[in-house]
Amino acid sequence: MRRILIIDDEDDIREVAALSLEAVANWQVLTASSGVEGIATAAAALPDAILMDVMMPGMDGPTTFRQMQLEPAIAHIPVILLTAKVQGTDQRRFADLGVASVLFKPFDPLTLAQQISDVLGWKD
């Protein structure tokens, strides 16, 4: 069973994404409401992938990702950013970080698991 960590400061986004991934793909979902909490959860649980919001108070998604890359235990975990920003300059900036992919809000709960699987090459 795949395990995915969702890091997002918005309760409703975390809940919809978690329910979607559990119901559609039967994945185990962990959640965190901030970058700091997300790093701690990732280090403790070692999920198969991380779905993380770009815009969060305190430590935003790109900053959180850069911090994760400094932690050997979690640096290998693929990170997919979730954003409402669709401008080309933002997309290039996110891609230059080295994240696995960028998905856009609003997402379709029925296809979210398939999008993540496609990006990461998961065949199960």
* β-pair partners for 32: 7
pLDDT digits (tens, 9 = 90+) for 92-108: 777 788 999 989 889 99
In this prediction, residues 5-9 reach a mean pLDDT of 98
Q: What are phi and psi of 28, to 5 degrees?
A: -85, 130
Residue type, 28: Q
Q: pLDDT at position 47, please?
A: 98
* Token pair listed for 99: 């994240």
**What is the domain extent for residue 74?**
3-120
Residue type, 68: M
Using only C-alpha atoms, the chain has a radius of gyration, in whole angstroms, of 13
Q: What are phi and psi of 46, to 5 degrees?
A: 45, 65
* β-pair partners for 82: 53, 103
Query: What is the number of other CB atoms lying within 10 angstroms of the CB of residue 79?
Result: 25
Rounded to whole angstroms, how far apart are CA atoms 104 and 85? Answer: 7
Count of domains forming the chain: 1
CATH number at residue 39: 3.40.50.2300
pTM over 0.75: yes
Q: Do the beta carbons of residue 82 and residue 54 sit within 8 Å?
A: yes
pLDDT digits (tens, 9 = 90+) for 31-73: 999 999 999 999 999 999 999 999 999 999 999 999 999 999 9
